[in-house]
């Protein structure tokens, strides 16, 4: 963690590269799973979920100290809503994240000797998928902000990876939970792809999930501050360091949004 805010251009580079690696992991693992386990959809999903969970853990560790490790426009804009990121920077993160995910999709295709761009024909839009994406996105944001508010943001890489790996299975949509990766996955007609006609429904659901998350986070953690929000997904500037120190102090003194623990005997 640096002692001063990281310059925007460096953060954008980190968001672009992290998003590219994320898309390459999701799509590349899906292609490998199709080839290694043909006609075994459940095993393919297990292989893709495991690779995504582990890959996301590593990618957040790689790039999080520079940009926070968002790789997701909904995460960035919810962060801005809580004052952890400026609206201008959140808007700048968005094209970097989308471009990174498209680039990662192209890289995954090429690594497996496929045409660089193959538009997906996999239709996924349904009411069940819409609800799944709302819930998946809501849960992702709750994990991230709960850890930041309680001073445990250092656990976020593992927690986010674990949550996404689990959400592959408990949602019918396999938990995209990210508009940038949704767009990127349109460019690969493989296991992890999504047809362009289905993408607007997924992105709309993810936005709804983000809006709902803002309300739920405010209800659960009414004392959340911009310093807390500055530490998501992982701490990356001086404000996050101050928030972590304050949260550590909250561990011995009750905070405004946590009930006091049992009294210690004297």
- Alpha helices, H only, the chain: 8-36, 41-67, 73-81, 87-111, 127-149, 156-170, 179-184, 199-220, 226-229, 238-250
**Is the pLDDT at 6 greater than 90, yes or no?**
yes
Q: Is residue 142 part of a domain?
A: yes
Q: pLDDT value at position 257?
A: 54
| Cα separations in angstroms, 96 against 12, 32, 205, 253 | 6, 27, 21, 41
Q: Is residue 72 part of a domain?
A: yes
Rounded Cα–Cα distance for residues 35 and 30 (Å): 9
Which residue in 232, 249, 231 sits closest to 240, CA to CA?
A: 231
The residue-averaged pLDDT of 2-16 equals 88
CATH code of residue 145: 1.20.1080.10
Q: Is residue 259 part of a domain?
A: no
Q: Is residue 129 part of a domain?
A: yes
Rounded Cα–Cα distance for residues 199 and 178 (Å): 11
Rounded Cα–Cα distance for residues 77 and 163 (Å): 20
Residue in the block written with tokens 């690779």: 51
Which residue in 140, 1, 11, 145 sits closest to 81, CA to CA?
A: 145
Work out the pLDDT band at 7, boundaries 50, 70, 90: very high
For 181-201, letters b (16+ CB in 10 Å) and e give bbbbbbbbbbbbbbbeebbeb
Pair of tokens at residue 79: 């962060």
**Is the pLDDT at 260 greater than 90, yes or no?**
no
Please, what sign has the CA dihedral across residues 124, 188, 32, 35? positive
Pair of tokens at residue 58: 């590593």
Residue 93 host element (H or E):
helix 87-111
Residue in the block written with tokens 């429904």: 201
Report pTM: 0.88
Q: pLDDT value at position 263?
A: 47
**What single DSSP character describes residue 122?**
-
Q: pLDDT value at position 236?
A: 80
180-204 pLDDT, tens digit per residue, is 999 999 999 999 999 999 999 999 9
Number of structural domains in the chain: 1
Pair of tokens at residue 241: 């360091």
Pair of tokens at residue 248: 């550590």
Work out the pLDDT band at 2, boundaries 50, 70, 90: very low
Worst-scoring range by mean pLDDT, 82-86, 181-185, 240-244?
Answer: 240-244
Q: Is residue 253 part of a domain?
A: no
Q: pLDDT value at position 165?
A: 98
**Is the pLDDT at 250 greater than 50, yes or no?**
no
The residue-averaged pLDDT of 47-59 equals 98
Work out the pLDDT band at 255, boundaries 50, 70, 90: very low
Rounded Cα–Cα distance for residues 78 and 141 (Å): 8
Q: pLDDT value at position 242?
A: 54
Q: Is residue 256 part of a domain?
A: no
149-178 pLDDT, tens digit per residue, is 999 999 999 999 999 999 999 999 999 999
Domain coverage including residue 164:
8-248
**Other residues' Cβ atoms within 10 Å of the Cβ of residue 259:** 6
């Amino acid at each position: 963690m640096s002692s001063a805010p990281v310059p925007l251009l460096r953060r954008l580079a980190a968001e672009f590269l992290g998003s590219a690696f994320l898309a390459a992991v999701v799509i590349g693992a899906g292609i490998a799973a199709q080839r290694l386990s043909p006609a075994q959809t459940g095993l393919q999903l297990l292989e893709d979920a495991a690779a995504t969970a582990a890959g996301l853990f590593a990618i957040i560790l790689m790039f999080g100290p520079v940009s926070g490790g968002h790789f997701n426009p909904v995460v960035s804009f919810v962060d801005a809503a809580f004052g952890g990121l400026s609206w201008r920077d959140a808007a700048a993160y968005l094209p970097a994240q989308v471009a990174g995910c498209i680039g990662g999709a192209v890289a995954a295709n090429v690594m497996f000797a496929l045409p660089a761009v193959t538009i997906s024909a996999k239709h996924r839009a349904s009411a069940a998928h819409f609800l799944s994406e709302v819930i998946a996105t809501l849960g992702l944001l709750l994990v991230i902000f709960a850890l930041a508010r309680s001073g445990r943001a250092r656990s976020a890489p593992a927690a986010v990876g674990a949550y996404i790996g689990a959400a592959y299975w408990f949602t019918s949509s396999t938990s995209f939970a990210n508009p940038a990766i949704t767009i990127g996955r349109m460019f690969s007609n493989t296991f992890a792809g999504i047809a362009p006609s289905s993408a607007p429904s997924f992105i709309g659901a993810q936005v709804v999930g983000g809006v709902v998350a803002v309300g739920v986070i405010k209800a659960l953690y009414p004392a959340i501050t911009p310093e807390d929000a500055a530490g998501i997904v992982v701490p990356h500037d001086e404000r996050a360091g101050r928030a972590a120190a304050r949260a550590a102090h909250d561990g011995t003194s009750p905070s405004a949004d946590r009930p006091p623990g049992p009294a210690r005997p004297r």
